[in-house]
Amino acid sequence: MSDRFHVTYLLTLAPGEDAEERIRALQLEQSAELPDPVVHSLGMQYVTGSVTELNVMGEPESAGDPNTSRYAGTSGKQGSSHLSEAAASGASAGPGVWPRQLRVTIAWPKNNHGNEITQLLNVLFGNISMKRGIAITDIRWEDVAGDETAGGGRNAGGERDLVAAGRNRLLAGPAFGIQQIRKKWNIHGRALACTALKPMGYSSRKLADLAFRFALGGVDIIKDDHGLADQPTAPFTERVEMCVEAVDRAAQKTGCRSRYFPNITTDPHRVTERFEQAAELGADGVLLCPMLVGPALMHHLARLNTGLPIMAHPAFSGSYVAQAGTPSTHTAPHGFEPGLFYGGLMRALGADFTIYPNTGGRFSFTSEVCDAINSHARNSGMPFAPCFPAPGGGMQRDRMAFWLKNYGADTTFLMGGSLFEDPAGIEAASRAFMETLGA
Amino acid sequence: MSDRFHVTYLLTLAPGEDAEERIRALQLEQSAELPDPVVHSLGMQYVTGSVTELNVMGEPESAGDPNTSRYAGTSGKQGSSHLSEAAASGASAGPGVWPRQLRVTIAWPKNNHGNEITQLLNVLFGNISMKRGIAITDIRWEDVAGDETAGGGRNAGGERDLVAAGRNRLLAGPAFGIQQIRKKWNIHGRALACTALKPMGYSSRKLADLAFRFALGGVDIIKDDHGLADQPTAPFTERVEMCVEAVDRAAQKTGCRSRYFPNITTDPHRVTERFEQAAELGADGVLLCPMLVGPALMHHLARLNTGLPIMAHPAFSGSYVAQAGTPSTHTAPHGFEPGLFYGGLMRALGADFTIYPNTGGRFSFTSEVCDAINSHARNSGMPFAPCFPAPGGGMQRDRMAFWLKNYGADTTFLMGGSLFEDPAGIEAASRAFMETLGA
């Protein structure tokens, strides 16, 4: 077990920018937040972490430039490579597009984040969120995976125990994950279908009627639209009661029960209460927008043993995601590599399902980005239960065969608008959707 | 009192893009999330809001292009202008840089956000966070300002009351604000000084010793660095106890007491407890990173009557802020206009102080952006108590006269690293810092 937390960054250098200075600035900004001489005089160099791997792409302006000679065009490595295959695609535009980019892995002391997920996110992307040209492309999850160590790094006698602190394992991933959900719901060998109740402004009665028709059509999961909160037109409790009743009623007709996931996103101090309320009212899972309530809260909910899986919705998340830099936009990638964010981070934080905007729909993710999200969500190399990737955002039924072939059975396909549009009506459209999945 | 919530967006159009379609797509994405024909067939057009003001900058490719004729080059306005002066600077690069940009105000029904701040943020920037080229440049705060209406839009008889729902006022701003803090601390007619305890990894004892020396030097506010959380090296309770004691001890020597603001940022379900604990342990205020804990939580804390002002730190926020687009980067502005975000939104959400990275330091904000933040934080046109702007991030003492002249007395200047660097030592450096402010 390493006493360090390894994070890999892709830095885009401006013309003439010094590679070594850029890396050092990142190390200082995300830890001591003091000038280097002060850090040395205080004897606190260790908090600034260490570079364990470095790969420079592109050439410096002048081969003999003494300012860049140490890192220019070289590739250094200490310790074994841990870049996952999925992380290799996504944020990086690679050499050729940018004059120079660095891929650098920094090993941070675990004391820097301690026992808090908020502080882990702060170490990852706190102050540097306000910089530009810094993408996070890989996180070594095993450094922070596992059950929480109780007691804040103190031993049984209540004294400070830095060895125990070094063993802190903060993140535990989904409470269920793909296999347990398949077993729980007895759905094997095929992809899952999900749809959404909307629009906001509809009454609870009308939303429940929609739920009834989706359930008659056999859709696996019927979730609230992420825009359904506690509005006067469809207050949370009333809506959940009516939708649960509607899904139950449909099950009596069909003999096969759909699952209802209400949206529990609300002001953070009330989310836990709403999660427990959803369980009491008979919901089968919940929808949550982690970036609206604070992402660490999702992880807390996943540990509460309500029995309800969590579906993460990406609302308010887009700003955190590094867009691939292209020659036409000249936008240096900044933020989390999208596969790492929607696949890896959401999974680590406890999402059983992670919704993302599929390529070819209303959003602009490329198919490479979507593949990376799927890979991060499901890959067996991560020390968490795998999570269902849930592509959505403008999916059409006539393309389902294509998506199924490309994304595979361990996917939850999210189809909203196109079921509403179908002239055959919602029940028939839902049934046809399920048939494309072999249900 | 309007029953609508007015938001102004700056949309950057790609070459050939249709202005009308782009606006309609935004309206649908942020409300019904259904195709337009479905919205019409359901009779739910009202949830998609209405355009009350439109200003097109730049020319369409072809003057006679029927696809763009309705909105091209025109400026329409219904109702009075509400663009604040501050909002006019910042995100927009203006005509000339981009072929075409639209500034459009949309009036959303208040039922769309209802009674929840998370849902208000969702309406503002939920799904469109994942798009590109959409900047939020103005919010009509009076539409959502004031005390919460209890009961979720229900009348005394418990029935749904859409008129009451229309009067929902969600946001109340800072609990104290500039004037009350000046009165509380008896500091008038001059700017305030703030410094930070760091680095992370230091023991509570050493951090308290730093606090003692800053306090001997007379710094108004001594805050934890935002990277001090509950790490084993300086656990929260131990650190707060020691730092409060150190500041008290210094006050006995100087006769004038500094104020200590511990960082209460932690996993969201524990933040309220830590806030109350800070008050019990004798802290004078708190530091909070709203984007790490969920921004709506700050507003909740500000209503708790602990007696402690809140200082908002911008960690993990940078991704939400629209960078000005320039011809050299070709980056279309996306996110909140920085003045609106760090000044307006943080103030609306209850920050008594809002920290931002000053121009000329380690970050890249322009002086225009900083002026806009100051203006949004303090301007009397907003229906909240004014909030201290707190520029920091690499400030130097020899430039203080310049900043004072430019930013004025209602500013809290944040100086960290340069006090540590001073060969005269921390106490003398702190005293010299205070002298630059006329203390």
Contact check, Cβ <8 Å, B114/A44: no
Residues B394 and B277 in one domain: yes
pLDDT score, position A84:
32
* Cβ–Cβ contact B326 with A under 8 A: no
Q: How far apart are CA B26 and CA B112, in angstroms?
A: 14
Instruction: List, for residues A405-418, the tens digit of each pLDDT value.
Output: 999 999 999 999 88
Looking at the structure, tell me whether residues B425 and B298 fall in a common domain.
Answer: yes
Chain A neighbors of B235, CB-CB under 8 A? 152-153, 160
Q: What percent of chain A has pLDDT over 70?
A: 83
pLDDT score recorded for residue B150? 37
CB–CB contact B364 A293 (8 Å): no
- A188 to chain B, closest Cα gap in Å: 31
CATH number of the domain within which A26 lies: 3.30.70.150
Measured between CB atoms, does A296 come within 8 Å of chain B?
A: yes
Cβ B129–A362 below 8 Å, yes or no? no
Q: Is residue B172 part of a domain?
A: no
| Confidence tier at A325 by pLDDT (50, 70, 90) | very low
ipTM attached to this prediction: 0.89
DSSP of A189-206, one letter per residue? SS-EEEEEE--TT--HHH
Alpha-carbon Rg of chain A, whole angstroms? 23
Bridge partner residues of A196 (DSSP): A223
Please give the Cα distance from B246 to B211 (Å, whole number).
6
pLDDT in tens, chain B (439 residues): 578 999 999 999 988 889 999 999 999 999 999 999 999 999 999 999 999 999 998 765 544 443 333 444 444 444 333 333 333 333 444 444 557 899 999 999 999 999 999 999 999 999 999 888 899 999 999 999 965 443 344 444 444 444 444 445 799 999 999 999 999 999 999 999 999 999 999 999 999 999 999 999 999 999 999 999 999 999 999 999 999 999 999 999 999 999 999 999 999 999 999 999 999 999 999 999 999 999 999 999 999 999 999 999 999 998 777 664 444 445 688 899 999 999 999 999 999 999 999 998 888 789 999 999 999 999 999 999 999 999 998 788 889 999 999 999 999 999 998 899 999 999 999 999 999 999 8
Residue B1: what pLDDT?
57
Q: What is the total residue count of chain B?
A: 439
Average pLDDT, integer, range A174-192: 98
Least CB–CB distance from A31: residue in B47, B109, B227: B227
Same domain? For A301 and A387 the reply is: yes
Q: Are residues B216 and B81 in the same domain?
A: no
- Rounded CA-CA distance A313/A298 in Å is 11
* Chain A 337-366, residues with CB within 8 Å of chain B CB atoms: 357, 362-364
How many residues belong to chain A?
A: 439
Q: How far is B143 from chain A (nearest CA, A)?
A: 16
Q: Are residues A392 and A249 in the same domain?
A: yes
Yes or no, beta carbons of A417 and B293 under 8 Å apart: no
Domain housing B24: 4-166
Q: Is residue B106 a contact partner of residue B49, using CB atoms and an 8 Å limit?
A: yes
State residue A223's pLDDT score.
98
* Contact predicate B7/B120, CB 8 Å: no
- What pLDDT is attached to residue B88? 34
A267 touches B at CB < 8 Å: yes
- Choose the weakest-confidence range: A312-321, A430-439, B242-251: A312-321
Q: What is the pLDDT of residue A73?
A: 41
- For chain B, positions 10-69, list CB contacts with chain A under 8 A: 25, 29, 31-35, 37-39, 42, 44, 46-47
Query: Alpha-carbon Rg of chain B, whole angstroms?
Result: 23
Shortest CA gap B122–chain A (Å):
7
pLDDT of residue B301: 98
Contacts of B42 in chain A (CB under 8 A): 199, 202, 420
Beta strands in B40-142 (DSSP E): 50-57, 75-77, 100-109, 134-139
Question: Residue B321 carries which DSSP code?
Answer: B
Q: How is residue B378 written in tokens?
A: 């303090």
Do B246 and B341 have their domain in common? yes
Residue B171 lies in a domain: no
Residue A149 has pLDDT above 70, yes or no: no
Task: Tell whether A159 and A285 lie within a shared domain.
Answer: no
Instruction: Classify residue B379: in a domain, yes or no.
Output: yes
Q: What is the pLDDT of residue A2?
A: 78
Which residues 150-209 on chain A approach chain B with CB closer than 8 angstroms? Answer: 152-154, 160-162, 164-165, 196, 198-202
Assess A401–B contact: CB distance below 8 Å, yes or no: no
Let me know whether B151 and B189 are in one domain: no
* B4, B148, B200, B303, best to mutate vs chain A, most A CBs in 10 Å: B200
pLDDT at position A132: 84
Instruction: Kindly determine whether residue A44 and residue B201, on different chains, have CB atoms separated by under 8 Å.
Output: yes
Q: Does A272 touch chain B (CB under 8 A)?
A: yes
Residues of chain A contacting residue B114, judged by C-beta atoms under 8 Å apart: 229-232
Q: What are the tens digits of pLDDT across the range A262-309?
A: 999 999 999 999 999 999 999 999 999 999 999 999 999 999 999 999
3-state secondary structure of B7: strand
Residue A282 domain-assigned (yes or no):
yes
More confident residue, A22 or A319: A22
The answer, for B112 touching chain A at a CB cutoff of 8 Å, is yes
Give CA angle at A228 (A224, A233), nearest 5°. 125
- Of the candidates A310, B8, B24, B5, the one whose C-alpha atom is nearest the C-alpha of residue B32 is B24
Contacts of A31 in chain B (CB under 8 A): 199-201, 227
- The last residue of one of the domains, among A138, A166, A194, is A166
A232 shares a domain with A98: no
Could you tell me the pLDDT band of residue A330, with boundaries at 50, 70 and 90?
Answer: low
B-chain residues within 8 Å CB-CB of A109?
Answer: 201
CA angle B190, B193, B197 (to 5 degrees): 170
Token digits for A84? Answer: 């996952």
DSSP summary character for residue B277 = H
CATH number of the domain enclosing A297: 3.20.20.110
pLDDT in tens, A82-140: 333 333 333 444 444 557 899 999 999 999 999 999 999 999 999 999 888 899 999 99
User: What mean pLDDT comes out for the span A172-180?
Assistant: 97
Q: Of A206, A421, A203, which Cα lies nearest the Cα of B36?
A: A421
What does the pLDDT read at residue A143?
94
Same-domain check for residues B145 and B242: no
How close, in Å, is residue B186 to chain A by CA atoms? 31
**CA–CA gap between residue B219 and residue A172 (Å, rounded):** 42
Verify whether the Cβ–Cβ distance B119 to A198 is below 8 Å: no
Contacts of A47 in chain B (CB under 8 A): 199-201
* Same domain membership, residue A224 and residue A104: no
B152 and B85 in one domain?
yes
Choose the final residue of a domain: A142, A166, A190: A166
pLDDT of A56 higher than 60 = yes
Among B115, B133, B166, give the residue marking a domain's end. Answer: B166
Which of A286, A284, A240 is closest to A263 using CA atoms? A286
Residue from A119, A228, A291 to probe the interface with B (highest B Cβ count within 10 Å):
A119
Neighbours of B438 (CB within 10 A): 10
pLDDT of residue A395: 85
d(C-alpha B268, C-alpha A118), whole Å? 8
How many domains, in total, are found in chain B?
2
pLDDT of residue B330: 53
What does the mean pLDDT of chain A come to? Answer: 86
- Say what the pLDDT of residue B394 is: 79
For residue B274, give the 3-state DSSP assignment.
helix
Q: Which of A281, A419, A397, A330 is nearest to A99 (CA)?
A: A330
